[in-house]
Amino acid sequence: MTTEEDYPTEEELAYIKNYDLMKRPVKALVEYIQDIWWAADWGLHIKDEQDDYESIIEIDGPAERRWHKVIELHTGGWSGNEDIIRALEANEWFFVFYWWSSRVGGHYEFHIRKEDWDKDEILLQGQ
């Protein structure tokens, strides 16, 4: 955050809104948000978690419990953090792919499949 009051700048919010998850890794976006989140030590948590159930889709072999990253964002009522949430909501794909739950008081949870988290930048050939 580059403003005196630690609010995200318009450029930072635009970066989040326009971040292309089809071409860039989700992990880099989450790390960016972590860098600008107010009170990240209290209000932003990243942890590994395994599904409570076995996958019913057996594409690559037998059903198994899958690992994912859980991203917890707690705004703390801080309007700068709420602006970041609104930027994530405006992102073309973030909420569609990863939103898991939200509850009153500014608490948001996102689940990101481990395979998505571990992807490097996607290089589009010919572009």
- Are 46 and 118 in contact by the 8 Å Cβ rule? The answer is no
Question: Residue 92 has what DSSP assignment?
Answer: S
What is the strand order of the sheet 99-103 is part of? 44-50, 67-74, 107-113, 99-103
pLDDT tens-digit map of 35-50: 999 999 999 999 999 8
Domain limits of the chain?
10-52+66-117
pLDDT tens-digit map of 48-104: 998 766 555 566 666 667 889 999 999 999 999 999 999 999 999 999 999 999 999
pTM: 0.84
